[in-house]
């Protein structure tokens, strides 16, 4: 999931945003390339969203489904889920590649990307766009909320039982490390689902409004619709950074794996030098 979030930053922020603004005439604006960038943006964004759902479901199974836990929470299952969601994200995002046409042709090379008129006028494309935003992120909204509510309810119920048993055996309310871990789990689940929903909500509402109101062009950079759209994009992109930051702050194992990933190239160089 952190890798998918990083791909969102690379494709959407670096290629689409920074490349489009600060390098107005570069290879990024060749038609075949600038067609590919939106496809990569949508595919990586969709993978990031659905991997968040997969993570939430994994936590739900690990905490609430003891019998299924031993079969589902394995490296093999994780690899299958990661591969399946990545392939499906690419397939669902593929139509975005075909909504652009060349803006001009220079020396037989097509340059720039102009949105085809039929994208705004075709009911088929309107239905596809609606389906896209229902699939990502409206359905994940519902699934993440549902799974987190069920998981937190199970944690609270188990915590009440554990607290009662400890009070009966000890007669005092000592600090319980297990209870502290459960509180951290609840905070983690709330943080992920809450930030995900809040940061995506503006974009979803605006995109549906733009399609209903048939907003195709902006009069200027001070147009209220343009400003709203850019703010919604900024918030949505922030959602790709918050999950990784949350893991770094709350998960000891994640911090250890991140340190190992950073150290690996240097350790490899040291081993090669010693040889």
Which mean pLDDT values do the consecutive 10-residue runs of the chain (275 residues) have? 80 85 84 92 90 85 83 86 93 92 89 85 86 86 87 80 66 61 72 80 82 70 79 84 67 73 83 78
User: What pLDDT, on a 0 to 100 scale, did the predictor assign at position 144?
Assistant: 85
155 vs 169: CA distance, rounded Å: 21
Structural domain including 77 reads: 2-274
Cβ contact 255:16 at 8 Å: no
215 sits in the region (left: phi over 0; alpha: psi -120 to 50; else beta) called beta
Bridge partners (DSSP) of residue 264 are none
Instruction: Please report, for the domain that includes residue 9, its CATH number.
Output: 1.20.1070.10
CB atoms near residue 84 (< 10 Å): 12
SS3 220: coil
User: What pLDDT, on a 0 to 100 scale, did the predictor assign at position 221?
Assistant: 64
134 vs 90: CA distance, rounded Å: 17
80 vs 88: CA distance, rounded Å: 12
User: What pLDDT, on a 0 to 100 scale, did the predictor assign at position 89?
Assistant: 93
User: What pLDDT, on a 0 to 100 scale, did the predictor assign at position 216?
Assistant: 66
CB atoms near residue 176 (< 10 Å): 15
User: What pLDDT, on a 0 to 100 scale, did the predictor assign at position 31?
Assistant: 92
Domain tally, the chain = 1
């Amino acid at each position: 999931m952190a890798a998918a979030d990083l791909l969102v930053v690379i494709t959407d922020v670096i290629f689409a945003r920074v490349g489009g603004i600060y390098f107005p005439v570069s290879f990024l604006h060749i038609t075949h390339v600038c067609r590919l960038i939106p496809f990569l943006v949508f595919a990586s964004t969709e993978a990031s969203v659905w991997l968040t759902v997969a993570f939430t479901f994994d936590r739900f199974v690990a905490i609430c489904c003891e019998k299924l836990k031993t079969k589902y929470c394995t490296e093999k299952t994780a690899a299958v889920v990661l591969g399946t969601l990545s392939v499906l994200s690419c397939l669902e995002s593929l139509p975005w590649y075909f909504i652009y046409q060349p803006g001009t042709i220079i020396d037989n090379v097509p340059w720039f990307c102009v949105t085809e008129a039929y994208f705004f006028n075709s009911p088929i494309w309107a239905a596809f766009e609606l389906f896209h935003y229902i699939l990502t992120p409206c359905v994940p909204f519902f699934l993440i909320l549902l799974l987190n509510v069920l998981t937190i309810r199970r944690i609270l119920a188990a915590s009440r039982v554990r607290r009662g048993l400890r009070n009966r055996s000890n007669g005092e309310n000592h600090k319980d490390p297990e209870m502290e871990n459960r509180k951290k789990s609840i905070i983690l689940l709330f943080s992920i689902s809450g930030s995900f929903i809040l940061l995506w909500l503006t974009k979803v509402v605006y995109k549906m409004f733009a399609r209903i109101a048939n907003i195709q062009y902006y009069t200027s950079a001070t147009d209220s619709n343009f400003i709203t759209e850019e703010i919604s994009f900024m918030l949505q992109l922030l959602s790709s950074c918050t999950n990784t930051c949350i893991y770094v702050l709350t998960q000891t194992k994640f911090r250890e794996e991140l340190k190992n990933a950073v150290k690996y190239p240097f350790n490899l160089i040291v081993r090669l030098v010693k040889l």
